[in-house]
Structure 1
Amino acid sequence: MGACVSSEAAAVVAASGTAKVILPDGGLREYTRPVTAARVLGKDAARLFVCDADGMEFEGLVSAVSAHEELRPGQLYFVLPRKLLSRPLHAEELAALAVKASAALVGAVAPLVFPSGTAGEEKGRRTRSGGGKFAPDLTVIPE
Structure 2
Amino acid sequence: MGACVSSASSSKPDRSVGGRGGSSAVKRSSTAVRVVHMDGRVQEFRQSVQANNIVSQNPGHFLCSSESMSIGTCVPHVPGDEELQPGQIYFLLPLSQSDKPLSLPDLCSLAIKASSGIGRHSVDLSSSNSKLFLR
TM-score, normalized by the shorter chain, greater than 0.5: yes
> What residue is the counterpart of 1:67 in the other structure?
80
Residues 13 and 76 in structure 1, CA contact (< 8 A), matched pair in contact too: no
**One-letter amino acid of the counterpart of residue 19, structure 1:** V
Q: 1:99 pairs with 112, 129, 134, which one?
A: 112
1:14 CA displacement: 9.9
> What residue is the counterpart of 2:41 in the other structure?
27
TM-score when scaled to structure 2? 0.69
**One-letter amino acid of the counterpart of residue 9, structure 1:** G
> What residue is the counterpart of 1:77 in the other structure?
90
Listed as ranges, the gaps of 5+ residues in structure 2 are 9-14, 122-135
Listed as ranges, the gaps of 5+ residues in structure 1 are 109-143
Residues 50 and 78 in structure 1, CA contact (< 8 A), matched pair in contact too: yes
RMSD value, Cα: 2.6
CA distance in 2, matches of 1:78, 1:8: 14
CA distance in 2, matches of 1:71, 1:100: 20
Among the aligned pairs, what percent are the same residue?
30
Deviation string, structure 1 residues 58-95 (Cα, Å, up to 9, x no partner): 11220100011010000000000011114310111111
Say if 1:21 and 1:7 are closer, same or farther in 2 by CA, change over 3 A: same
Say if 1:72 and 1:37 are closer, same or farther in 2 by CA, change over 3 A: same
CA distance in 1, matches of 2:106, 2:97: 10
State which structure, 1 or 2, has the greater radius of gyration over its C-alpha atoms: 1
TM-score when scaled to structure 1? 0.65
Residue-pair matches, total: 107
> What residue is the counterpart of 2:16 in the other structure?
7
- Of structures 1 and 2, the one scoring higher in RCO (CA 8 A, sep 6+) is 2
Which one is further off, 64-73 or 99-108? 99-108
CA distance in 2, matches of 1:85, 1:8: 24
Higher strand content, 1 or 2? 2
Indicate the SS of the match to 1:79. Answer: strand
